[in-house]
Amino acid sequence: MPRINVTSVLVDDQTKALAFYTEKLDFVAKTDVPVGEFRWLTVVGANEPDGVELLLEPDVHPAAKAFKQALVADGIPYTSFAVDDVVAAHEDLETRGVRFTQAPTVMGPVITAVLDDTCGNLIQLTSPA
């Protein structure tokens, strides 16, 4: 059966994205291969070196920027990451200078918060309520 090994987030600057995802969110760089003017640049969870890779993909396709801008304008996260405790993660990330557009909010069986990844995306964090 198929399984997810790589997923992506569209970013406006790969170097800035790598810094944000590793320095602020504690992901770990996994693959960094030059591909023309861009890179095949992935990160993984710090405790999951062989887990699903997140590709920091350049948003150079003509539809990408408009798509991302529409999502942000409507407050819709591009993707969602699981954490053990959204409230604790929110507090920690705010002390690191991460800007949130939604504070921790109970939504049925989960708690969510939404952050700005500084690369044109809103990212949702979730944990059990």
> How far from each other are the two terminal CA atoms of the chain, in whole angstroms?
31
* Structure-token pair, residue 111: 């708690």
Query: How much is the pLDDT for 112?
Result: 98
Q: What is the CA radius of gyration of the chain?
A: 15
pLDDT at position 50, please? Answer: 96
For residue 125, the model assigns a pLDDT of: 98
Note whether 114 and 104 are within 8 A (CB).
no
What are the chain's domains? 6-128 (3.10.180.10)
AA identity, residue 9: V
Instruction: Tell me the average confidence (pLDDT) per consecutive run of 10 residues in the chain, 129 residues long.
Output: 97 98 98 97 97 97 96 98 98 98 98 98 97
Cα(80)–Cα(76) distance, rounded to whole angstroms? 10
Q: What is the pTM of this model?
A: 0.95
Which pLDDT value is given to residue 113? 98
Long-range contacts of 43-48 (CB under 8 A, 24+ apart): 43/18
**Which letter does DSSP use for residue 25 in this model?**
S
pLDDT on residue 31: 98
pLDDT of residue 124: 98
Query: What's the pLDDT at 29?
Result: 98
Q: What is the pLDDT of residue 46?
A: 96
CB 125 within 8 A of CB 88: no
Smallest CA-to-CA distance from 25 within 106, 127, 116, 120 is with: 116
